[in-house]
C-alpha cells in the first residue's frame, strides 16, 4: 500500500498546483524564500506595532485619566440648565427628608 492521498484544500484565488498545500502548511504564502534580515525587520515592526497598541490600551484604561474625564463630564453637566435643575431637585428632596425627620423626632 502506498501513502494515503493528500487532501487538497485551495483558497479562493490560490494556485492549485501541488506546492500550494505545502506553502499553506508551512505558513509561507510567497514562493520566494525570504532573507533572515527581512524576517527580523518584519518581527521588529510587528513588535513595535504591538507595543504601541499596548501603550494606547494602558492610556485609555488609566484610572487617573478615567477619573479626571468623569469629573470633567459631571462638572460640564452641572453647568447646564438640566444639571442646575437636578441639583435643585436633589436639594429640595434632602430638605424635605430633613424636615420630616425633625418633625417626627419626638413621636
| Residue entry with cell 419626638 | 106
Indicate the domain borders of the chain.
16-61, 71-107
Nearest CA among 21, 23, 27 for reference residue 5: 21
Alpha carbon distance 57, 35 (integer Å): 33
Q: Give yes or no for residue 1 having a pLDDT over 70.
A: no
How far apart are the C-alpha atoms of 2 and 56, rounded to whole Å?
Answer: 55
User: What size, in residues, is the chain?
Assistant: 107
Identify the residue whose cell numbers are 518584519: 42
Q: Compute the Cα dihedral for 64, 65, 66, 67 and give only its sign.
A: positive
Local confidence band at 11 (pLDDT 50, 70, 90 cut-offs): low
**Which has more confidence, 32 or 80?**
80
| pLDDT above 70 for 17 | no
Amino acid at each position: 500500500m502506498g501513502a494515503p492521498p493528500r487532501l487538497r484544500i485551495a483558497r479562493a484565488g490560490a494556485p492549485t498546483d501541488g506546492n500550494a498545500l505545502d506553502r499553506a502548511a508551512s505558513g509561507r504564502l510567497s514562493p520566494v524564500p525570504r532573507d533572515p534580515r527581512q524576517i527580523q525587520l518584519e518581527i521588529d515592526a510587528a513588535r513595535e506595532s504591538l507595543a504601541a497598541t499596548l501603550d494606547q490600551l494602558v492610556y485609555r484604561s488609566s484610572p487617573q485619566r478615567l477619573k479626571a474625564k468623569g469629573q470633567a463630564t459631571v462638572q460640564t453637566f452641572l453647568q447646564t440648565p438640566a444639571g442646575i435643575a437636578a441639583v435643585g431637585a436633589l436639594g429640595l428632596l434632602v430638605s424635605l427628608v430633613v424636615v420630616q425627620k425633625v418633625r417626627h423626632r419626638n413621636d
